[in-house]
Amino acid sequence: MRKNFITKAICSFPVILIIGYFVPAIAVILALFRYVVYGKTHFYRTPIVLLVAGLLLLLPRGLELAMANFNFNLGIPYWSEIITHPLYPKFTDYGKFLAIFAIILLVVTYVLRNFIEGLSNKFSQLMNGYYQDRAKRDDEIEKEVKLESKIKEIEAEQKTPHAVKCPHCGKTNHITGTTGRCKACRSAIEYRAKK
Ligand SMILES: [Zn+2]
């Protein structure tokens, strides 16, 4: 959808602005549709461009009011023709509509965005906490497993008979554990693990 040229063209600003002049409701729908098409990247662009367009349409009216109130004339060519043109009030109305819609959109976007960001932050904090707890538990389990296997290793080591040569009579004895007695001369013998 994002890459679709026709979709992008339909909800482009020129199309929105021209259709909006005739059917404001469609412009509203298309402007909202931009959020679907562009997602996060155009969050504030849509309301800001619409606001600028609305203010530009209102600019002549603002100038007219300023010139009438403060008694000055900028000497803009065809000024009276622009101001008195039968279509001009319609443009002014359209400018007002665009500006109001853009401001509402801006506020709603801002509020929603912060709300959604707040939610997703909270969610990621929760998830982080969960993963940290799990990592800690996994660590503990791993330590326990290691300790157990070490114990088993030691036990197995103690049960395995080792060949030990008696230092007194030279007879080879097989003893389990580390100490024992020579079967021939009864003297104490000791097994030392080679490391
Ligand atoms: Zn011996």
175 alpha carbon – ligand 1 mean position (Å):
13
191 alpha carbon – ligand 1 mean position (Å):
14
- How far is 53 from 123, CA to CA, in rounded Å? 38
- How far is 86 from 55, CA to CA, in rounded Å? 20
Global pTM reads 0.57
pLDDT, mean of residues 66-78 = 80
- How far is 136 from 126, CA to CA, in rounded Å? 15
Helix (H) or strand (E) holding 36: helix 24-38
Instruction: Tell me whether strands 172-175 and 179-181 are parallel, antiparallel or unpaired.
Output: unpaired
* Contact present, 47 and 102 (Cβ < 8 Å): yes
Res. 67: pLDDT tops 90: no
Residues with CB under 5 A from ligand 1 (ion): 166, 168-169, 171, 182, 184-185
pLDDT higher at 39 or 129: 129
Ordered DSSP codes for 94-162: HHHHHHHHHHHHHHHHHHHHHHHHHHHHHHHHHHHHHHHHHHHHHHHHHHHHHHHHHHHHHHHHHHS-E
pLDDT band at 1 (very low <50, low <70, confident <90, very high): very low
Residue type for position 144: E
189 alpha carbon – ligand 1 mean position (Å):
8
Q: Which of 21-35, 141-155, 167-181 has the highest mean pLDDT?
A: 141-155
Looking at 59-73, 120-134, 158-172, which range is the least confident one? 59-73
192 alpha carbon – ligand 1 mean position (Å):
17
Res. 56: pLDDT tops 50: yes
155 alpha carbon – ligand 1 mean position (Å):
26
Q: Identify the CA nearest to 43 among candidates 89, 112, 98, 97.
A: 112
Helix (H) or strand (E) holding 168: none
154 alpha carbon – ligand 1 mean position (Å):
27
194 alpha carbon – ligand 1 mean position (Å):
21
Q: What is the pLDDT of residues 88-141, one digit of tens each?
A: 888 899 999 999 999 999 999 889 888 888 888 889 899 899 999 999 999 999
168 alpha carbon – ligand 1 mean position (Å):
5
Q: Identify the CA nearest to 153 among candidates 165, 145, 163, 164.
A: 145
Percent of the chain residues past pLDDT 90, beyond the cut: 35
156 alpha carbon – ligand 1 mean position (Å):
26
Residue 162: phi, psi to the nearest 5? -115, 145
